Chains A and B, each alone.
Chain A
Amino acid sequence: MGSIKRISKELSELTESPPDGITVELADESNLYEWKISMEGPERSPYHNGIFHVKLSLPTEYPFKPPTVSFVTKIYHPNITNDDKGSMCLGMLRADEWKPSSKIAAVLEFARQLLAEPMPDDAVEGRIAEQYKNDNGRYEEVAREWTRKYAGASQ
């Protein structure tokens, strides 16, 4: 359980100086391995004004194994599965890409960056990726609508 020290250190760093538009807390104060994150939709993206709840689970082998990131809030995005899991495909989170020296802060910032700039070539939702590439206007429309519907965007 050498990971506890590192996790608590990262957690305190993230709560003290959270990255832009991201707030971090434990889902359950007694469990260090489940994090509750709320992420503001980045400006100039169809997700703007939305608050997205993200679940971050750390394996007990962390930092030797990557954390998993899933969107609790439904979101219309090529890189996030459109099911009840809402799992997110991040290159750096793949087992063979993950480096123990990567920090959660970097993961979260990368995830938020992905909201601003989806990567349709690395998509998990092929249909949305297709639309993102070929009919960007329609994609933005739907994404904005979903943001309003599920992520509580005010307008």
Chain B
Amino acid sequence: MVRKVESMSASVTASTSLPDNPRPSRGLRRFSLLRSHTQNLSSSLPSGHSYRHSLSSRIPWRFSNSGSISPTHQNPTPPCPESDQPTLSRYTSAPAPGYGFGAELNSQISSTESAASTPSHDVTQTPHAMARLRSSSAAQRPPPRMVERTTTLDSQASTPSPEPGSAQNNVNDPTSAPAEESEATSRSEIKATIRFFPYQDSQQSSRPSLPFVPITRTLPSESCVIRVGRYSERDGIPLPNPTEPSDAPVGFKSKVVSRKHCEFLYVQGQWHIKDVGSSSGTFLNHMRLSQPNMVSRLYTIKDGDIVQLGIDFRGGEEMIFRCVRIRIECNRSWQQQPNEFNKNTESLIKNLGKGETADYSGCRECSICLGSVLRPYQCLFMAACAHVWHYKCISRLLHSPDYPMFQCPNCRAFTDLSAEVDDSNDLEEKRVKETEGQAANDSGEQAEPEEISVSETNRTGETQDQLEELAEDNLVNDVQNLHLQDEPQTDDTRSTASPAPSSTDDLARSATSNIPGWQPTQPLSVPPRQAQLRSETPTSDDNPLTPRNDSGPLAFDGRAGMS
């Protein structure tokens, strides 16, 4: 067994050169357990995995979208597979040559119920039991039994499929339909997104796993597959987090990861994982998916699952021999769209400046101190998931060793606090809008009383219907303004293209009229609402990166357009 692992690490073409061991998983597991004990006794853990190092190398990537950047000018050290430089080995993703899976995918969908629900084989019981056993000190646990289907599927998989596109007929699944709901225009919001975060097993006596920068992938279409494998020098370093939908392969700089290790698929509204014949195994919540060099069936994954690629080799002391542990974040797109919760938060925040007239009825409590949050004159912190705490209470979790990664203590959503602020990528367009808003501001200054009532509805109304009503109201206002002053040009533009600026402007003004000296927070809410109303213009509609939320930027991070 030892020789086997060594040979794997020594040779780059691991998967082909390995002997076909019939039951190696048990041995490997014992081996690793044993090693973990000895490791624990003999050596102290290499601890440094601060994300800060990784940042310097990552941020430039975010700026440049083309997949073919050469990173050499950003990273003084050239990427080398043997290097244990944290920055470089942390994350790389390798565009591996495509390999056919389509036929297999099809057959699996038709033959098994695995996509819709967890299948009824004994394997399904194993992960739960295993997860529990983990806590109750079961050192000698049996390896999960593999379903016979694995072998049958394997034979199916071996028939090469011409194109990944042959799986296309699975795309039109009914489950994605309800997600579309009211917003027919914003198709991009329901695209399947998955995020990978480095996971350090705090409970077990394990060594740190391979550090890497969090990875986000949004599938351009549901038939796409995210391939995961070892990073290869040849393919260059692609973007860890492309700003546009991408199914770019994900690569890890570890020798225990096979070049073709596993795949993530989105089938019938569910994310799945499949081992594609890795030599050192893919583990879903500690359960090995398949024998070495065997293709596994599809396994459903859900938010919070832990996926491990490979097993530490030589104690994992060298970065290059560490296994990869990934915490999956998926099915969270609902959180990045307008929903009851974050709309409520937004309206509460808008209330902050209103002084005595403010309505604190929906006020929530800070989950750390249990005191009420969202009252004026407090320093607050709001995460991307719209959970809010006092800054003082949450600061401990912000300035943790994991910084800039922040995990919401309420909903466990991860956020990269150092991520670039996504204030929509077309600044040009926004500037135009702002000038438009100013023009409207100039013209609409006189009609006060009615407009305040308009702003009332505006404050609470976020749905599209209400916005449409609002637009009508504004039209009425515009007509009234016509009588009050003669500026035919601006009125023209407003009534035809954008009635919004006047209303948002009203909002700002009503706030300032209530509390003299209060700096209005409302202007912050101008851009998205305008973007929403301006979605009739084809340019912003076509662009998937325009933020689609109509509830203002306060309630969201910048990911809305990408989800």
The residues of A with any CB-CB pair to B shorter than 8 Å are 2, 5-6, 9-10, 63-64, 89, 91, 94-96, 99-101, 103, 121-124, 126
Digit string of B391-417 for contact with A (CB within 8 Å is 1, else 0)? 011001100000000000110100000
Question: Counting chain A CB atoms within 10 Å of each CB, which of B129, B370, B397 scores highest?
Answer: B370
Question: A residues within 8 A CB of B135?
Answer: 89, 91, 94, 122
| B367 proximal to A (CB < 8 A) | yes
Out of B128, B203, B370, B409, name the residue touching A96 (CB < 8 Å). Answer: B203
Would B368 and A100 count as touching, CB distance under 8 A? yes
| B45 proximal to A (CB < 8 A) | no
* Alpha-carbon gap, A91 to B203, bound state (A): 13
Would A99 and B132 count as touching, CB distance under 8 A? no
Question: B residues within 8 A CB of A100?
Answer: 367-368, 397, 409
The A interface, classified by DSSP as helix, strand, loop or mixed, is loop
Would A63 and B136 count as touching, CB distance under 8 A? no
Q: What is the chain B residue whose CB lies nearest that of A64?
A: B396
Would A6 and B409 count as touching, CB distance under 8 A? no
| B202 proximal to A (CB < 8 A) | yes
Q: What is the chain B residue whose CB lies nearest that of A5?
A: B369
* Alpha-carbon gap, A55 to B182, bound state (A): 52
Would A101 and B409 count as touching, CB distance under 8 A? yes
Would B412 and A99 count as touching, CB distance under 8 A? yes
Would B129 and A101 count as touching, CB distance under 8 A? no
A94-B135, A99-B410, A124-B136 given as contacts; is B368 within 8 A of A63 (CB)?
A: yes
Question: B residues within 8 A CB of A124?
Answer: 136
| B160 proximal to A (CB < 8 A) | no
| B376 proximal to A (CB < 8 A) | no
Question: B residues within 8 A CB of A64?
Answer: 396-397
| B371 proximal to A (CB < 8 A) | yes
* Alpha-carbon gap, A96 to B203, bound state (A): 7
* Alpha-carbon gap, A101 to B397, bound state (A): 13
3 closest A-B pairs by beta carbon, nearest first, are: A101-B367, A100-B409, A101-B410
* Alpha-carbon gap, A71 to B409, bound state (A): 28
Question: B residues within 8 A CB of A5?
Answer: 369, 371
Question: B residues within 8 A CB of A89?
Answer: 135-136
Q: What is the chain A residue whose CB lies nearest that of B392?
A: A2
Would A123 and B136 count as touching, CB distance under 8 A? yes
A96-B203, A101-B409 given as contacts; is B136 within 8 A of A122 (CB)?
A: yes
- Chain B's nearest CB lies how many Å from the CB of A6? 5
Beyond known contacts A96-B203, A99-B409: 19 more, CB 8 A cutoff: A2-B368, A2-B369, A5-B371, A6-B368, A89-B135, A89-B136, A91-B135, A94-B135, A95-B202, A95-B203, A96-B202, A99-B412, A100-B368, A101-B368, A121-B129, A121-B132, A122-B132, A122-B136, A124-B136
18 contacts between A and B (CB under 8 A): A2-B368, A2-B369, A2-B393, A5-B371, A6-B369, A6-B370, A64-B396, A64-B397, A89-B136, A95-B202, A95-B203, A96-B203, A99-B409, A99-B412, A100-B368, A101-B367, A101-B410, A122-B136
Q: How many A-B residue pairs have CB under 8 A?
A: 46
* Alpha-carbon gap, A10 to B393, bound state (A): 16
* Alpha-carbon gap, A126 to B137, bound state (A): 11
Would B132 and A94 count as touching, CB distance under 8 A? no
Question: A residues within 8 A CB of B136?
Answer: 89, 122-124, 126
Question: Counting chain B CB atoms within 10 Å of each CB, which of A6, A96, A100 scores highest?
Answer: A100
Question: B residues within 8 A CB of A10?
Answer: 370
Question: B residues within 8 A CB of A91?
Answer: 135
- Chain A's nearest CB lies how many Å from the CB of B144? 16
- Chain A's nearest CB lies how many Å from the CB of B392? 7
* Alpha-carbon gap, A126 to B128, bound state (A): 17
Question: Counting chain A CB atoms within 10 Å of each CB, which of B203, B368, B396 scores highest?
Answer: B368
Q: What is the chain A residue whose CB lies nearest that of B369?
A: A6
* Alpha-carbon gap, A9 to B365, bound state (A): 12
- Chain B's nearest CB lies how many Å from the CB of A26? 18
Question: B residues within 8 A CB of A101?
Answer: 367-368, 409-410
- Chain A's nearest CB lies how many Å from the CB of B251? 28
Digit string of B361-392 for contact with A (CB within 8 Å is 1, else 0)? 00000011111000000000000000000001
Q: What is the chain B residue whose CB lies nearest that of A61?
A: B396
Digit string of B335-352 for contact with A (CB within 8 Å is 1, else 0)? 000000000000000000
Question: A residues within 8 A CB of B129?
Answer: 121
* Alpha-carbon gap, A2 to B394, bound state (A): 11
- Chain A's nearest CB lies how many Å from the CB of B411? 9
Q: What is the chain B residue whose CB lies nearest that of A4?
A: B369
Question: A residues within 8 A CB of B202?
Answer: 95-96
Q: What is the chain B residue whose CB lies nearest that of A103?
A: B370
* Alpha-carbon gap, A94 to B202, bound state (A): 10
Question: A residues within 8 A CB of B370?
Answer: 6, 9-10, 103
B residues 117-134 near A (Cβ < 8 Å) are: 128-129, 132
Question: B residues within 8 A CB of A126?
Answer: 136
Question: B residues within 8 A CB of A9?
Answer: 369-371
- Chain A's nearest CB lies how many Å from the CB of B135? 7
Question: B residues within 8 A CB of A96?
Answer: 202-203
* Alpha-carbon gap, A103 to B202, bound state (A): 22
* Alpha-carbon gap, A101 to B59, bound state (A): 32
- Chain B's nearest CB lies how many Å from the CB of A103? 8
Question: B residues within 8 A CB of A94?
Answer: 135, 203
* Alpha-carbon gap, A123 to B135, bound state (A): 9
Digit string of B121-160 for contact with A (CB within 8 Å is 1, else 0)? 0000000110010011000000000000000000000000
* Alpha-carbon gap, A2 to B371, bound state (A): 12
- Chain A's nearest CB lies how many Å from the CB of B450? 44
* Alpha-carbon gap, A99 to B371, bound state (A): 17
* Alpha-carbon gap, A63 to B389, bound state (A): 14
Question: B residues within 8 A CB of A2?
Answer: 368-369, 392-393
* Alpha-carbon gap, A63 to B369, bound state (A): 8
* Alpha-carbon gap, A123 to B137, bound state (A): 10
